[in-house]
Amino acid sequence: MDCLKNEHFAVPVICDSIPPSLDQSFHKDSENSGQKPVTNSSDEGKNQDSHPSKSDEVDSTIPKENFPNSLPRREREGMPSSSSSSKTTVHFDKPNRKLSPAFHQALLSFCRMSADSRLGSEVSRIADSEKSVMLMLGRCLPHIVPNVLLAKREELIPLILCTACLHPEPKERDQLLHILFNLIKRPDDEQRQMILTGCVAFARHVGPTRVEAELLPQCWEQINHKYPERRLLVAESCGALAPYLPKEIRSSLVLSMLQQMLMEDKADLVREAVIKSLGVIMGYIDDPDKYQQGFELLLSALGDPSERVVSATHQVFLPAYAAWTTELGNLQSHLIPTLLSKIEKLLREGEHGLDEHKLHMYLSALQSLIPSLFAFVLQNAPFSSKAKLHGEVPQIEVTRFPRPLSPLQDVSTIIGSREQLGVLLQLYDYQLEHEGTTCWESLLWVVNQLLPQLIEIVGKINVTSTACVHEFSRFFWRLCRTFGKIFTNTKVKPQFQEILRLSEENIDSSAGNGVLTKATVPIYATGVLTCYIQEEDRKLLVGFLEDVMTLLSLSHAPLDSLKASFVELGANPAYHELLLTVLWYGVVHTSALVRCTAARMFELLVKGVNETLVAQRVVPALITLSSDPEISVRIATIPAFGTIMETVIQRELLERVKMQLASFLEDPQYQDQYSLHTEIIKTFGRVGPNAEPRFRDEFVLPHLHKLALVNNLQIVDSKRLDIATHLFEAYSALSCCFISEDLMVNHFLPGLRCLRTDMEHLSPEHEVILSSMIKECEQKVENKTVQEPQGSMSIAASLVSEDTKTKFLNKMGQLTTSGAMLANVFQRKK
**Residue 780: what pLDDT?**
67
Tell whether the model's pLDDT for residue 730 goes beyond 80.
yes
pLDDT at 577: 93
pLDDT at residue 87 in the model: 52
**Sequence-distant (≥ 6) Cβ neighbours of residue 96 within 8 angstroms:** none
Highest mean pLDDT among 46-55, 118-127, 351-360: 351-360
DSSP string, 290-319: GHHHHHHHHHHHHT-S-HHHHHHIIIIIHH
pLDDT tens per residue across span 548-560 = 999 999 999 999 9
Work out the average pLDDT over 461-473.
Answer: 92
The SS3 of residue 172 is helix
Q: What sign results for the dihedral spanned by CA atoms 423, 425, 431, 433?
A: negative
Amino acid at 1: M
Please name every residue paired with 90 in a beta bridge, in sequence order, or none if there are none: 14
Q: How large is the C-alpha radius of gyration of the chain?
A: 43
pLDDT, residue 694, reads 84
Q: Tell me the pLDDT of the chain averaged across its residues.
A: 81
Span 333-358, average pLDDT: 89
| Residue 42 scores a pLDDT above 70 | no
- Tell whether the model's pLDDT for residue 417 goes beyond 50: yes
Return the number of other C-beta atoms located less than 10 Å from residue 201's C-beta: 15
Q: What pLDDT does 82 receive?
A: 37
Instruction: Give 602: exposed, middle or buried? Use CB within 10 Å, 0-12, 13-18, 19+.
Output: buried
Show Cβ contacts of residue 49 under 8 Å, excluding neighbours closer than 6 positions. none
Instruction: For Cα atoms 355, 360, 365, give the angle at the middle one, nearest 5 degrees.
Output: 135
At 73 the pLDDT is: 41
pLDDT of amino acid 506: 53
pLDDT tens-digit map of 382-414: 888 887 777 677 888 888 999 998 999 999 999
pLDDT at 511 exceeding the cut of 60? no
Residue 21 has pLDDT above 60, yes or no: no
For residue 787, the model assigns a pLDDT of 47
* Cross-strand bridge partners of residue 767: none
Q: How confident is the model at residue 743 (pLDDT cuts 50, 70, 90)?
A: confident
Do residues 521 and 562 make contact, with C-beta atoms less than 8 angstroms apart? Answer: yes
Given pLDDT bands bounded at 50, 70 and 90, which one contains residue 121? low
pLDDT, residue 206, reads 92
Range with the largest mean pLDDT of 128-142, 194-208, 507-521, 735-749 = 194-208
Mean local confidence (pLDDT), 258-272: 95
Q: What DSSP element (H or E) covers 90? A: strand 89-90
Give the residue from 230, 222, 227, 289 showing the smallest Cα distance to 255: 289
Share of the chain above pLDDT 90, in %: 47
Is the pLDDT score of 368 beyond 90?
A: yes
What span, in angstroms and rounded, lies between the C-alpha atoms of 671 and 745?
Answer: 26
For the residues 473-485, what does the mean pLDDT come to?
A: 96
Residue 748: pLDDT above 70?
yes
Using CA of residue 506, residue 508, residue 512, residue 518, what is the dihedral sign? positive
In whole angstroms, what is the distance from residue 618 CA to residue 577 CA?
11
For 716-739, give the secondary structure using H, E and C.
CHHHHHHHHHHHHHHHHHHCCCCC
Band the pLDDT of 650: cuts 50, 70, 90: confident
Output the pLDDT for position 790: 46
The secondary structure element, H or E, covering residue 13 is strand 13-14
Model pLDDT for residues 802-826, shown as the tens digit of each residue = 444 455 455 455 544 444 443 443 3
Question: What's the confidence (pLDDT) of residue 43?
Answer: 41
Residue 339: which of 316, 307, 365 has the closest Cα? Answer: 365
pLDDT of 327 over the 50 cut: yes
Mark 125-154 as b/e (b = at least 16 C-beta within 10 Å).
Answer: bebbeeebbbbbbbeebeeebeeeeeeebb
Check: CB of residue 278 under 8 Å from CB of residue 254: no
Dihedral sign of CA atoms 153, 155, 158, 163 in order: negative
Q: What is the pLDDT of residue 767?
A: 81
